[in-house]
Amino acid sequence: GLVAPRIVRPARSFTALDNVSFDVGRGEMVGILGHNGSGKSTLLQMVASTLTPTHGTVTVHGTVSALLELGAGLNPEYTGRENIYLYAAVIGISRSRIHDKVDEILAFSELAEFIDQPVKHYSTGMFLRLAFSVAISVEPDLLIIDEALAVGDASFQLKCFEKIQQLKERGTTILLVTHSTQVVIELCDRC
């Protein structure tokens, strides 16, 4: 038979962000709103150093903890407890420092009875509880949240908002991507 050569088209170049410049002060909570595909997540990934900008610079002072996508940095084959240590290592927190926080993480997440099961058996809400609980436990200088709070039941969302408010009062800077203008109105200093 005749085999036709496969036509390979060069990848199109796509600019996710262009000419974006802003400063965020210590303890400020800034909401980031935009349509799907507008570059919100790309922006947060650059601030968190999981993406490198093609041009320009991103400067962050202090420790960063990021909830960029549900469960990013968690291994589904590992238990919840193993994932606490894994996630801490990913964000640069020492084993001894996170060891001192395990009880606090378990209390906040309300997952103590499931913590030694592989997270692949967790519901989406349980997965979120674990990821959020670890991210906030390290008391970062900058907390980045990319729509993660849209998942989970109402009581856990309220608990998360209260914890975010406490972190903000302590001086943590927070970048929050959300589709909820109500969340921006209630929590953010500007957007």
As a whole number of Å, the end-to-end CA separation of the chain is 61
- What span, in angstroms and rounded, lies between the C-alpha atoms of 53 and 12? 18
> Distance of alpha carbon 27 from its chain centroid, rounded?
17
For residue 28, what pLDDT band results from cuts at 50, 70 and 90? very high
pLDDT of residue 102: 95
- Per-residue pLDDT of 149-179, as tens digits, reads 665 678 888 888 888 889 999 999 999 988 8
Mean pLDDT of 118-124: 92
Q: What is the dihedral angle through the alpha carbons of 183, 15, 26, 176, rounded to the nearest 10 degrees?
A: 20
Tokens describing residue 164 = 């975010």
pLDDT of residue 35: 85
Q: Supply the pTM of this predicted model.
A: 0.79
Mean pLDDT of 124-134: 85
| Tokens 């200093």 -> residue | 189
Specify which of 27-31, 89-93, 131-135 reaches the highest per-range mean pLDDT. 27-31
For residue 85, what pLDDT band results from cuts at 50, 70 and 90? very high
> Distance of alpha carbon 96 from its chain centroid, rounded?
22
For residue 72, what pLDDT band results from cuts at 50, 70 and 90? low
pLDDT of residue 15: 81
